[in-house]
Chain A
Amino acid sequence: MSTPIIHLNNVGYRYPHFAESEDLALSGIDLRIEEGEFVGLVGANGSGKSTLARLLNGLLLPTAGEVRVGGLATADTANLDNIRETVGMVFQNPDSQIVATSVEDDIAFGPENLGLPAHEVEARVEEAARRFGIERLRQSEPHWLSGGQKQRTVLAGVVALRPRVLVLDEPTSMLDPRSQRRFRDFIDELWRGGTTIIYITQLMEEIATAPRLVVMAGGSIAFDGVPAEFFPDRDLLDATGMEPPLAARLAAGLAARGCQVRPALTLPELVANVHAGSQT
């Protein structure tokens, strides 16, 4: 079998200020993610999603077990430069991720850190700005941007490093619905381009179509499979504190009232199912 791009082997993590007796933030995590996968990562608050995300590029180091990125252990500090170039990370609040005083300077920050030649930095800034529709804002100061534009600037700054894996920790939670959707579409585009995506969210709609869903509860992985197997499972939902997406609840509600509707996870799917049901 080939080396997975991300491999967690019996990983545990305890925050340094926590006493031995207290709960581990993470324990017994086994996770293999192959290059090119799209993994939705969900879980209630405090379930350990963000801690897990921070282990993936060596921002945190496991206190038990081992995290390997492309075969390299994060525990070895000599690997960290390489690992951070491989795994890009987007956080929740764009305001605390923008470093520079203009959009293009911020996109350039990562490539500059790599010490790339100036013309190469310029080319990457150009490409990333165009890709995420912010080329007209290149000279703008960050505080003039909308939330969606800010988060796209952050994304452009991370993508300019050409990471093979992109970890997104609730990247849309501060955006309005339209910007959320647009941002999510950009992520899909990156995935189709071959980037491995690990997408953390509280919005079930955003991962309803994900090929793989990992659900965290109490610092462990409670489910790892396809969304269509997770959301109909009432016991699992209760155990993990999750709710199915709106379309799934609607479909279930309609079916309970005797309508001919098959289960669905997304609105288009539900519309198609309702339409098919009304034809028969």
Chain B
Amino acid sequence: MQISNMVVGQFYPGTSILHRVDPRTKIIAACAFVIVLFMVNGFEGLAVMGAGLAAVIALAGIPLSWLWRGLKPVLFLLVITFAFQLFLSGGEELWRLGPVTVYRAGLVQGAFLTARLLLLVLSGSILTFSTPPVLLTDALGRLMEPLAKLKIPAYELALMMTIALRFIPTLVMEVDRIIKAQKARGAVTSGGGLLVRARGIMPVLVPLFVMSFRHADELALAMESRCWRGGRGRTIRRKLAFSNKDAVFATVVLAVLAASLWMGRFR
């Protein structure tokens, strides 16, 4: 693992409108987008949504190579989805290749589901591409604030997300160190069959857990020493404020979603 190149989250720094829109607006927009995505039937609706998404990507100035980086981990899932639909459906035959038959309905269904999944992943990616992780957790905390009335510790949950983000690089570095320490003592941590590799994971996982608990223990002491007494009464330093940009952005998103709903469902 190349630790020095590691980036937490996938934030792509920039100053576009999308970067400057309130993160809460972006989170709500992404959620609405996903809901509509699952309501829309037919390619016309998806096409409108895809065009909207493409416009947003262009607006944010996110390069295609960066998009590709975000897509790579789910590529396998996309291919599997497509292949699965392709072979399983019945109806009009398109081609027959030995034992494999491809049906028209399967092809259409596969293409549709794959496109939907692609748009789903992209919409989530654009949110993390254009919003620094700190703002994202801040905004989530603020959006969850009403939940505090239901005795759900919204602020604490947001802090937990922040701490998780904060400790990912630390733990990755520690995994690296543990692997080196185990290798130095002759452990096999890579290569070999599945069984060998599975066995190699345990000597890494156990120390990692022990270290994590130690970190948690010390962090709790440090936080208590720094007057942490739960989320109540804390200062909210970073002011999140809706502006005209948010109104414009929300209107455009609503228009696109309404158009795709009309195209894909109610026409």
Contacts and interface: CB of A to CB of B under 8 A. Distances in A.
Interface of A: 54, 57, 59, 81, 84-85, 87-89, 91, 93, 95-102, 105, 108-118, 121-122, 141-143, 154, 157-158, 161
A97 B219 contact: yes
Interface residues of B, number: 31
B215 A96 contact: yes
A105 B215 contact: no
The 9 A-B residue pairs with the shortest CB-CB distance, nearest first, are: A96-B218, A143-B169, A97-B222, A89-B225, A110-B226, A113-B227, A112-B235, A115-B233, A96-B215
14 contacts: A54-B221, A57-B225, A89-B222, A96-B215, A99-B162, A99-B219, A108-B237, A114-B227, A115-B233, A116-B235, A118-B237, A142-B166, A154-B222, A161-B227
Contacts of B215: 95-96
Most buried by B among A85, A96, A98, A111: A96
Interface residues of B, dominant DSSP: helix
Contacts of A102: 134
B239 A157 contact: no
B227 A81 contact: yes
B234 A113 contact: yes
Given A99-B163, A118-B235, A143-B173, A113 B219 contact: no
Contacts of B52: none
B224 interface: yes
Contacts, number: 97
A222 to B, nearest CB: 26
B170 interface: yes
A276 to B, nearest CB: 45
B8 interface: yes
A93 B237 CA distance: 27
Contacts of B235: 111-112, 114-118, 121
Contacts of B233: 115
Interface string B231-251: 001111101000000000000
Contacts of B183: none
A70 B163 CA distance: 33
Interface string B164-181: 011001100100000000
B69 interface: no
Most buried by A among B173, B214, B227: B227
